Amino acid sequence: MSQNNENLIIAVDGGGSTCRVTICRLDGTILSQAVGGAANLTTHFETAVATIESTVKMAYKTANLSADRTGDDFIYLGLAGAKLDGLATRLKGALKFKDIEVTTDQQITIQGAMSDEDGAIASLGTGSFFVCRQQGKTLHVGGWGMHLGDECSGAYLGRALLRKSLHAYDGLIDHSPLSQNIMQHFGGSPQEMILFARSASPMDYGSFAPQLIAAFEHGDAIAQQIMNDSLAILHNMLDVLEVKATGSLYMLGGLGAIYQKLLRPEYQQICCSPKADAMAGAIILARKKWRKKEEN
């Protein structure tokens, strides 16, 4: 069947840093892929929608398909912020496809990493979430967004670094080379930092995480305090989830490997590589939803 005459699946993995799109046939054959900017529904809904639409258009173009064919295709979206009331419904109203399914980035990550098996995930990127699945029961912890949650994430670390730098500026704690560099970044002005914070996105805060990690590895006092505090939170998350009982821990996201090296031995011993990534999870879930179409 010609691509122009068949229904295709558009799988979307959208988070605080990037939006990935894959176009595939109903049998799973991949036709094209594209990558765009951040697509977090809670950070800025309209921007997320625009990013999704532009990235889908790029994927259509790569596959030599018309972007006007959305009414013929199915779209499955796993997005940061999708679990908040009303956002998924708003998104469905904004997109024009034959059928639309919206779920969280957590669900596609879980499917990709663990398939249908038991295990636990600590997803530590720009945002974060923690989940444990055992004997048919799934428990989620965290993942409540930058303002009230996303513990141990890049955004969380970046905010903590700015806060500690202000504490050092006020003389509440001693400056370190890292906090001095942060103040210099803002021209030595707390006011400039506050202006930044008023509109900063998770990705904006997360941009300071690499500098923090590098300083931590070189023994910077403030970086070590922030990372040690964050590691204590991470261990508490894993303890509450009773992760050890599952025998499998998947440390995912850009910070996953960094934290993995710092885990207590009993957790390091059960760390394992994910079976696949979140995009693969989105494709699997999409095919499960629409596979009857494949049979017709």
Residue 1 has what pLDDT? 45
Please say whether the beta carbons of 203 and 38 come within 8 A.
yes
Q: Specify whether 38 is located in the same domain as 177.
A: no
Q: What is the 3-state secondary structure (H, E, C) of 226-275?
A: HHHHHHHHHHHHHHHCCHHHHCCEEEECCCHHHHHCCCCHHHHCCECCCC
CATH assignment of the domain containing 220: 3.30.420.40
Does 146 share its domain with 160?
Answer: yes
Q: Show the domain range for 19.
A: 9-111+277-295
**Residue 3 placed within a domain:** no
3-state class (DSSP) for residue 33: strand
Cα radius of gyration rounded to whole Å, the chain: 21
Tell me the per-residue pLDDT of 194-242, one tens digit each, with 9 for 90 and over.
999 999 988 899 999 999 999 999 999 999 999 999 999 999 999 999 9
CB 211 within 8 A of CB 181: yes
Rounded distance between C-alpha atoms, residue 3 and residue 131, angstroms: 38
Amino acid at 28: G
First-to-last alpha carbon distance for the chain, in angstroms, is 13
Continuous segment of H or E residues that includes residue 209? helix 209-217
Based on the fold, state whether residues 26 and 142 are members of the same structural domain: no
How long, in residues, is the chain? Answer: 296
Q: Residue 106: what pLDDT?
A: 87
**Residue 73 sits in the same domain as residue 120:** no
Q: Are residues 174 and 94 in the same domain?
A: no
Residue 269 lies in a domain: yes
Three-class SS of residue 80? coil
pLDDT (tens, 9 = 90+) of the chain, 296 residues, equals 445 568 899 999 988 778 999 999 998 999 999 999 988 887 778 888 899 999 999 999 999 998 888 888 999 999 887 777 688 888 888 888 898 898 888 899 999 999 989 999 999 998 899 999 998 899 988 878 778 889 999 999 999 999 999 999 999 999 999 999 999 999 999 999 999 999 998 889 999 999 999 999 999 999 999 999 999 999 999 999 999 999 999 999 999 999 999 999 999 999 999 999 999 999 999 999 887 655 55
Q: Residue 254's closest CA among 141, 126, 160, 112?
A: 126
142: left (phi over 0), alpha (psi -120 to 50) or beta: left
**Residues 55 and 78 both lie in one domain:** yes
36 within a domain of the structure (yes/no): yes
> Is 123 found in the same domain as 233?
yes
| Residue 1 within any structural domain of the chain | no
Q: What are phi and psi of 115, to 5 degrees?
A: 55, -125
Per-residue pLDDT at 38: 84
Whether residues 81 and 213 fall in one domain: no
In the prediction, which pLDDT does 169 show? 97
